[in-house]
Amino acid sequence: MSSATESIGAIDIFLSFTHEDMALRGELEKHLNILKRQGQITSWYNREIHANGEWTHEVDTHISEAQIILLLVSPDFMNSDYCYGPEMARALERHKAGEARVIPIIIRPVYWEDAPFSKLPVLPADREPVTKWSNLDEAFLGIARNISNVAKELLASKKIADGASHYKDMHCGGS
């Protein structure tokens, strides 16, 4: 994962985007960095694949482990056979199974209303693409706050589940 201060309890985030949107991904990551420093999240995206790595296997591994999957939606994302195809299909499959939360983020204007993710809540909250905002930092601030809320919710449910598991292990040993 790509965090200077990784935490075992952190929520893993997978970023799905095209290379054409790398700069906007970078801006989003700047706003998420405080969450990384606080140990709430870690993030991964396909540029972190080692040169000799088998990229499809590595992408599938990370998308299968992430608790939050961000879809950075743009014309290039919608045009990408891989992002729009297997990557999004796997993300939505995990979302439907309750294994992960998929959060579409509309970063550039594009027709997305009939896409497979269109029934999910999208960010920014007003559905205005990030690049249409007069101040990109304000758009990313709202997105970061929403992601923080989801991460806190997932961390809380994770702690409750871990506590229940620990309690069960301690008290169900038979008598």
Look at residue 4 and tell me if it is in a domain: no
| pLDDT average, residue stretch 33-40 | 92
Look at residue 5 and tell me if it is in a domain: no
Beta strands in 3-49 (DSSP E): 11-16, 41-44
Look at residue 2 and tell me if it is in a domain: no
**CATH number for position 120:** 3.40.50.10140
User: Cα(167)–Cα(56) distance, rounded to whole angstroms?
Assistant: 39
pLDDT at 45: 66
User: Cα(151)–Cα(128) distance, rounded to whole angstroms?
Assistant: 23
| pLDDT average, residue stretch 76-83 | 94
The pTM is what? Answer: 0.82
Domain that holds residue 93: 11-171
Contact 25, 15 (CB under 8 A): yes
Look at residue 48 and tell me if it is in a domain: yes
Look at residue 84 and tell me if it is in a domain: yes
- Look at the chain and report how many structural domains it folds into: 1
Look at residue 6 and tell me if it is in a domain: no
pLDDT at 48: 41
Look at residue 154 and tell me if it is in a domain: yes
For 128-166, what is each residue's pLDDT tens digit?
A: 999 999 999 999 999 999 999 999 999 888 776 655 554
User: Cα(6)–Cα(40) distance, rounded to whole angstroms?
Assistant: 9
Look at residue 88 and tell me if it is in a domain: yes
